[in-house]
Amino acid sequence: MDRYNIQETEKKWQSLWADKEAFITEDHVEGKEKYYVLEMFPYPSGKIHVGHVRNYTLGDVVARFRKAEGYNVVHPMGWDAFGLPAENAAIENGRHPAEWTYANIAVMREQLKAMGLSFDWSREVATCSPDYYRHEQKMFLDFFKNDLAYRKESVVNWDPVENTVLANEQVVDGCGWRSGAPVERRTLNQWFLKISAYADELLEGLDDLGGWPEKVRTMQDNWIGKSQGLQFKWDINNYDEDVEVFTTRPDTIFGASFVGIAPDHPLAEKLAGDKDGFAAFIQQCQALGTSEAAIEKADKLGFDTGYTVNHPFVEGLTLPLYIANFILMDYGTGAIFGVPAHDQRDFEFATKYGLDIKPVVIPEGEDAQGFKLEDKAYSGEGKLANSAFLDGLEIEEAKSLVISKIEEKNMGQGKTQYRIRDWGVSRQRYWGCPIPMIHCADCGVVAVPEDQLPVTLPEDVSFEQAGSPLANHPTWKHTKCPECGKDAQRETDTFDTFFESSWYFARYCDAQNTNKGFAKDKADYWLPVDQYIGGVEHAVMHLLYARFFMRALSACGYTDVKEPFKALYTQGMVNHATYKDQSGKWVFPNDVIKQDDGSFKHASTGEKVTEGAVIKMSKSKKNVIDPQEIMDSYGADAARLFILSDSPPDRDLEWSEAGLEGAWRFINKLHRTVHDFIAARPNLTADAPKGLSDDSKTLRALTHKTAHEIKADITNFHMNKAVARCRELYNAITGFKAVNDDDNWALKEALEYLIRVMNPMIPHVTEQLWQDFGHTENLYDAPWPLTDESLIVEDTVNIAVQVNGKLRATIKLPKDIEKSDAEDSALSEPAVQRAIEGKTIRKVIVVPGRVVNVVVA
RNA sequence: GCGGGCGUGGCGGAAUCGGUAGACGCUGCGGACUUAAAAUCCGUUUCCCUCUGGGAGUGGGGGUUCAAGUCCCCCCGCCCGCACCA
């Protein structure tokens, strides 16, 4: 018998698809609606990983399925090619970032091709190419002209030994990852994009994103963080400036026991700069770096300025003015009033420094005098108390009243505040897109004239010295001022790599365009992306930046599309068990052999190995599987099928060798079953034979039902259910005994339907089997199989019969039976009789088509 | 710390609107075929019991309901994001 040759067959179809340009897409195809499927493009880190396999398999199922449904599908792929790892490779191995990056791209492109993905490779982009980034330089200049880009000071993590800015992930326990030196916060002048100007629009736009997961919309909503509050000034005793605070809880003003400012608040140095311990305190705050998580997780620390402030409503009441490490300069005014009873951070702070904790919001059912806080702040509902003119009011009433009183006193005003900050796009790095600006001593900041774009990166850079390679380059930055012609210097910062990923989906619409990033009509045709698929870790930043970027581009006349992604699907991660040897070192799963007693040993050394937690695959823990090895030994179809089979795509997936083998077995079985059928050479008619046996009718019903339901499953991303249904149909096929050619006709229909509905999941073997059946068209170009609705209507249903909610029997009844008849049938069941014996029937609940519940006492 | 999510057999998971918990796969066990093994095929696989039946059971505790994996409240555990990783 002929065995299925996976490697040969998969290569054969991959080259056929390439030769026929099967997935090269034209714009505006007559009579077809467009459908844009997009997966988040990869960073070319070296080789593809299982997370990529999952992401691109999901996208491929959608793309092939929508094509079969008759859409004009575009499914592009490219490379998010700028970024830190390329520079790290340069430092560690001496390889040039460009050389390293392009070599990785070449490897990964071949790997993606070997997966049989239906990409339109004619649209491929690499963001590190000047052909790509020249256009975003132009976009930046347009943002600048339209007042959407500006410069301001902001804080970075500074490594004093390496003389370089550190990313947050490069700060480990407050120290630089390579130098080990404590990081400092340093202020630099940097470029920002005014995403805050679109805060309301981005927030309101979320309501129209029905195709997005609720959780992602909620996260973006919280990130934008719109809040109504009060901004007002506190008078500082014996000092001629006021301190301005922002609060979302003006109602709790009578519970205030201190006022706090951020360590980098301009007043901090002025008020306390000459005090003992100030420098040490500031240093301690700086050691936390700039990461918000690190700052908020740190123990609450304060420094008493010695100054006091006057309470706005209580004559003679003064509160201490602290500098506190948990107050963020970036939010509000960088100053707060602390209400320990009703804010957890303030509570911890007050506990530590012995400040008053005075409850002013009393929950319902508690007495204002008796209400005591246990060990944490109370932030729930309640009525005001201990608060002079606010006593007895609801929180919202009290907020408005305090705001209007403050406004009357001219001390401040109600204010809408956003948590979102403007997007800092400057990076002090080499491997990024140069920011097309020039600094002139006389003219200030001047844009590079458009006819001088692109500003390209110099190739001869050194990573030997500390600091930014662009700034260190001997000649690159020296240029002439475009306005006055005198000597001037180029901006040596490059863009944040989120800049590139904020418009790549628009570039795909017109990837070959050398004049501009994309032609408006092409973007307006293809965009928005109909289905975007990627990791949930991008729920906020990338997705929010891209939404902003399209609005900014739209404001500059590039396109009419403001929302780039109509529907979003966020996939879960891929996890794998971890292994350690006796010395505690991580071991690759590939080097582990499971023994008969369930224990593990090292494949080459024979040493005992212990199995650890099942966690996200990561190189550092070595719990990685190389997709290349999977494809080499099991084939792309098996890898794809396994990854779709087990877990629902939005949940984490546990990689399992056994599950992969199961998928591989299925593909071989499917091949064998089809070939056994063909070899039997049944004599078949073209149309459905009349008078099919009941078994054949049942098989036909399942066949058509399966095609129908898989369509719904794929539409809803229930890929694991779709696979389960395919296996059910397959099980029915192999359990089916054909006694004549009429039966064989039904069998062939079932097999062909199975092949067709599985094509988006396992495209190679299904194309092959379709051809083996004698079809001359290819499945990639074939429509989704039709469902004959008349075959799938059932006239009887199984009804559960319960007594007091407990299942006692199931009965088969006509679908449209009268309730009373269903009740009679249920009560006559022996098991029901037994259960109700000697009891009184209180009532009987009949849910048509589902359940009869007999309630007895 | 803040924001968001997830939790169902030995394992991954299924269960449309609150209506038969465990589809489908994996593993294990038993059997067939074989000189033998692999492959393949068949059966079986939530737990407990006094087993022609019955009881328990969806992270834990409480509640609503004729009926709860599903709704509500509290708690526990794990995961993602937190603005210079991508």
Q: What is the pLDDT of residues A328-377, one digit of tens each?
A: 998 889 999 999 999 888 998 998 999 999 999 988 777 777 777 777 78
Label the pairing between strands A164-166 and A171-172: unpaired
- Judge whether A395 and A381 are in contact, CB under 8 Å: yes
Count, in order, helices (H) and strands (E) of chain A: 25, 35
Instruction: Check whether residue A172 has its CB closer than 7 Å to nucleic acid strand B.
Output: no
Predicted confidence band of residue A1 (pLDDT cuts 50, 70, 90): very low
Label the pairing between strands A531-535 and A568-571: parallel
DSSP secondary structure letters along A141-175: HHHHHTT-EEEEEEEEEEETTTTEEE-GGGEETTE
Q: Which residues contact A280 (CB under 8 A, 6 or more apart)?
A: none
- The interaxial angle of helices A50-68 and A694-715, nearest 10 deg, is 120
This complex has an ipTM of 0.93
- Judge whether A135 and A517 are in contact, CB under 8 Å: yes
- Judge whether A338 and A258 are in contact, CB under 8 Å: yes
Which residue has its C-alpha nearest to nucleotide B12's C1'?
A: A646
E strand or H helix that includes residue A323? strand A318-324
pLDDT tens digit string along A727-766? Answer: 999 999 999 888 888 999 999 999 999 999 999 999 999 9
Report how far apart, in Å, the C-alpha atoms of A188 and of each of A33, A157, A164, A794 are.
Answer: 49, 10, 12, 72
Which residue has its C-alpha nearest to nucleotide B55's C1'?
A: A806
Torsion of the alpha carbons at A677, A679, A680 and A681, rounded to the nearest 10: 100
Instruction: Check whether residue A855 has its CB closer than 7 Å to nucleic acid strand B.
Output: yes
pLDDT tens digit string along A103-157? Answer: 999 999 999 999 999 999 999 999 999 999 999 999 999 999 999 999 999 999 9
pLDDT tens digit string along A299-326? Answer: 888 999 999 999 999 999 999 999 999 9
Query: Hey, is A857 helix, strand or coil?
Result: coil
Q: Strand B: which of residues 515-574 in chain A lie with Cβ below 7 A? A: 536-542, 573
Of the candidates A664, A835, A645, which has an alpha carbon nearest to the alpha carbon of residue A722?
A645
Of the candidates A777, A786, A775, which has an alpha carbon nearest to the alpha carbon of residue A22?
A777
Please tell me the distance from the alpha carbon of residue A517 to that of residue A508, in angstroms, as a whole number.
Answer: 9
Is residue A89 over pLDDT 70? yes
Q: Strand B: which of residues 710-729 in chain A lie with Cβ below 7 A? A: 718, 720-721, 723-724, 727-728
Q: Strand B: which of residues 480-509 in chain A lie with Cβ below 7 A? A: 496-498, 501
Question: pLDDT value at position A549?
Answer: 98
Q: Strand B: which of residues 597-616 in chain A lie with Cβ below 7 A? A: 613, 615-616
Which residue reads 């609801």 in tokens? Answer: A394
Of the candidates A523, A530, A531, which has an alpha carbon nearest to the alpha carbon of residue A504?
A523
Strand partners, A841: A856
- Residue A257's Cβ-side half-sphere holds a number of Cα atoms within 13 Å equal to 21
Please tell me the distance from the alpha carbon of residue A558 to that of residue A545, in angstroms, as a whole number.
Answer: 17
DSSP secondary structure letters along A498-544: TTGGGTHHHHGGGTT-SSSS--HHHHHHHPSBSEEEEEGGGTTHHHH
Q: Strand B: which of residues 196-215 in chain A lie with Cβ below 7 A? A: 214-215
